[in-house]
């Protein structure tokens, strides 16, 4: 029986192992941590449960598809529901906006709140949809680095409508060309952060991210985000995938320019194919010491990282929902601080995620579990202890003022995650959440491919390679890898 090895049990590694098992391979997965999921994991603190990493769940069909391929009913193993409200937004001048998942309701509410004509919003959404439809099969579902990808009718259609993509504009420019409300423009600029980028640098192409949320909606897993990991881990085990936890791979074995397996501290394992779900930077630096690294790709600017405060809150806030954004008054300065000055902004935008709104058992009765995130630069040797102390004071003061309560007195327990800790726990280079940033019109073409052009039978999946970071794209990377590897 042919063998495949997956290095890393992140969500892309789990999905890759499932797809390869379904193609007839005997699959082994090696993971340095004692648990699967990578960033998509969980922990508890004094009766409060927290999702440690990704908090936004959209495009659930990429998860349920894996069960369907295995001939199983996804509903029996993974339950989720669609949110009526995608996100609640707050500005310091008192403006509030409820972003409904329903497109018509969103447009109506946006018109009433921001004064933008409904037809303008509809036109913007339609253009974003067109960008997605022209590029999804070309850029998101196939390897950009194979010639056959470009020898298709989809490529011809895309080339004839290049003007639609607004590549020559930044996302911010595309938004100010479409609207006049500063608040609404800021809301739409925020979608650059979905892949760790800067709206004042990333391409106008990125309006398609907004389409994904409006078209597919925002969902909440019944047992928290970690249930995505639990469901995929369970499916992989039922398909016979063998997992080795607390087992670090020290080297990918390469003979005659061909991947032959992996080495750990205690043993060597043979395989016909090796898939690395480890950050591509560390894959080359740590696991392929003799291979010539693709320096240009590895030197790409990193995406943003984050400081996350996990707070147990001993009360409830009715005006807050699952996803909440408290905007900065100086948005451009915030991104300049992150990407140019490599520090934390004086007036940061704050994201508050509260899963106990939908999963009551995630917090004690009458309480809430707050996942409070601020975008930061990646790890470049900053004094994170000093930055976190300052940031904590800023965040508590800002939220206290906006919510009209002395927040500090309601925080009963706390855990903090910083870029250095993210790197240590997940091997994400410099603690970047999405690998390379997309602060370039050609970023999609610059990401590392899902295969090695120098080492045969070596493949890559996860947020540090094509097509990018975030749960949906990580799952797509696994699909691309499986499509490149022949069936047994």
Element (H, E) at 424: helix 419-426
The pTM for the full model equals 0.93
Report the C-alpha gap between 248 and 465 in whole angstroms: 21
Q: In the prediction, which pLDDT does 210 show?
A: 83
Q: Where do the DSSP E strands lie in 110-248?
A: 219-221, 242-244
Helix, strand, coil shares, percent, the chain, to 5: 40, 20, 35
Per-residue pLDDT of 59-100, as tens digits, reads 999 999 999 999 999 999 999 999 999 999 999 999 999 999
The dihedrals phi and psi of 275, each to the nearest 5 degrees, come to -120, 125
Q: Do 21 and 240 meet the contact criterion of CB atoms below 8 Å apart?
A: yes
The pLDDT of residue 156 is 44
DSSP per-residue letters across 184-218: HHHHHHGGGGGGT--TTTSBGGGGHHHHHHHHH--
Q: What is the pLDDT of residue 161?
A: 55
- The pLDDT of residue 339 is 97
Q: Which residues on adjacent β-strands are paired with residue 370?
A: 311
pLDDT score for 150: 40
Low-confidence ranges of the chain (pLDDT < 70): 137-165, 442-445
Residue 106, H or E segment: helix 103-114
Q: Which residues does 35 contact at the CB level (< 8 Å), separation at least 6? A: 41, 245
Amino acid 71: pLDDT:
98
CA 487, CA 69: separation in Å to the nearest integer? 14
Where do the DSSP E strands lie in 222-329? 242-244, 249-255, 258-264, 268-270, 273-276, 305-313, 323-326
| DSSP state, residue 456 | B
């Amino acid at each position: 029986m042919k063998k495949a090895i997956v290095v890393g049990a992140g969500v892309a590694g789990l999905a890759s192992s499932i797809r390869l098992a379904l193609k007839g391979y005997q699959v082994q997965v090696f993971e340095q941590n004692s648990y699967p999921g990578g960033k998509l994991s969980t922990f508890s603190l004094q009766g409060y449960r927290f999702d440690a990493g990704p908090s936004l769940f959209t495009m659930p069909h990429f998860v349920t598809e894996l069960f369907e391929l295995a001939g199983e009913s996804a509903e029996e193993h993974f339950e989720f529901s669609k949110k009526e409200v995608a996100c609640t937004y707050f500005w310091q001048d008192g403006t509030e906006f409820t972003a409904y998942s329903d497109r018509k309701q969103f447009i109506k509410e946006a018109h009433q709140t921001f004064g933008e004509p409904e037809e303008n919003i509809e036109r913007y959404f339609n253009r974003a949809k067109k960008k997605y439809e022209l590029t999804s099969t070309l850029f998101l579902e196939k390897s950009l680095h194979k010639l056959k990808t470009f020898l298709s009718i989809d490529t011809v259609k895309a080339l004839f409508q290049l003007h639609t993509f607004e590549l020559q504009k930044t996302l911010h420019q595309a938004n100010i060309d479409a609207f006049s409300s500063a608040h609404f423009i800021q809301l739409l600029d925020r979608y650059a952060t979905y892949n760790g980028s800067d709206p004042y640098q990333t391409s106008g192409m990125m309006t398609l991210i907004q389409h994904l949320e409006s078209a597919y909606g925002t969902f909440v897993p019944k047992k928290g985000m970690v249930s995505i990991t639990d469901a995929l881990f369970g499916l992989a085990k039922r398909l016979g995938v063998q997992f080795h936890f607390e087992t670090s791979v020290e080297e990918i074995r390469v003979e005659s320019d061909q991947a032959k397996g992996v080495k750990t501290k205690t043993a060597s394992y043979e395989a016909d194919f090796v898939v690395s779900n480890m950050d591509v930077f560390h894959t080359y630096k740590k696991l392929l010491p003799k291979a010539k690294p693709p320096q240009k790709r590895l030197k790409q600017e990193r995406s943003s990282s984050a400081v996350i405060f996990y707070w147990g809150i001993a009360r409830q806030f009715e005006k807050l929902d699952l996803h909440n954004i408290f905007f900065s008054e100086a948005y451009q300065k915030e991104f300049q601080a992150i990407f140019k000055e490599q520090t934390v902004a004086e007036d940061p935008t704050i994201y508050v995620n509260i899963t106990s709104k939908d999963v009551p058992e995630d917090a004690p009765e009458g309480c809430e579990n707050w996942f409070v995130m601020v975008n930061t630069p990646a790890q470049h040797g900053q004094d994170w202890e000093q930055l976190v102390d300052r940031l904590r004071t800023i965040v508590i003061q800002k939220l206290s003022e906006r919510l009209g309560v002395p927040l500090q007195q309601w925080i009963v327990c706390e855990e903090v995650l910083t870029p250095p800790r993210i790197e240590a726990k997940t091997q994400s280079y410099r603690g970047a959440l999405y690998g390379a940033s997309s602060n370039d019109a050609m970023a999609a073409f610059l990401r590392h491919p899902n295969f090695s052009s120098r080492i045969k039978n070596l493949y890559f999946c996860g947020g540090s390679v094509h097509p990018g970071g975030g749960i949906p794209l990580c799952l797509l990377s696994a699909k691309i890898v499986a499509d490149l590897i022949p069936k047994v």
